[in-house]
Amino acid sequence: MGAALAQSGPADARRFGESAFSSVTFTGGRYQRSRFDDVWLQAVRVVGSGLAETTWLDGEVRDSVLAGAQLYGAQLHRTLFHRCKFDSVNLRTATLRHVTFVDCLLRDVDFGGATLTGVSFPGSTLDRARFDKATLSGVDLRRAEGLGVASGLEDLKGATISPAQLLDLAPALARVVGLTVQDA
């Protein structure tokens, strides 16, 4: 059965261990500095909620929506997102280690200043993603269905892309390095 949670007071620094959430909506809640260990979320909606500086370890999120969620400074380790939609999610200064986004839509997601290590995006679409001042290591974008980068192209060092993606990004990369491309 589904539920909707609209939080009236703060739930900062809560611990959720070995928990499962199904068909739940979190609207406008504050969960700063909370810890999510071995959690499973199915068909969950997180709308306008504060999840800053949270820690996620060994989690799985499926068929869920995160819209306007604040995850800046969060620590995500060994977390799988499968068929999720991210819309205007703030992951600035977050640390993502061994996180996989499978068949997800990431629209207007801000990875500015984030550290991404061993992160992959198979089947996912990044639309207007921002990577300004991000640090990437072992990030695999090759199997992403779409790679739309709004800003921070110069900060994609440490990512691997496919030859086709390089061709798609070529005009924007040329602008970043100051090249003028025109016919003779």
CA separation, residue 63 to residues 8, 40, 60 (Å): 26, 11, 10
**Amino acid type, 162:** S
The two three-digit tokens of residue 169, written as one number: 């990004």
Q: Is the pLDDT reported for residue 7 higher than 80?
A: no
Instruction: For residue 109, give Cα distances in angstroms to 10, 18, 34, 43, 65.
Output: 25, 28, 21, 20, 13
Q: Which of helix, strand or coil describes residue 136?
A: strand
Distance of alpha carbon 121 from its chain centroid, rounded? Answer: 10
Full-model pTM:
0.91
Give the per-residue pLDDT at 3. 44
Q: With bands split at pLDDT 50, 70 and 90, how would you rate the model's confidence at 8? A: very low
Per-residue pLDDT at 12? 65
pLDDT band at residue 68 under the 50/70/90 scheme:
very high
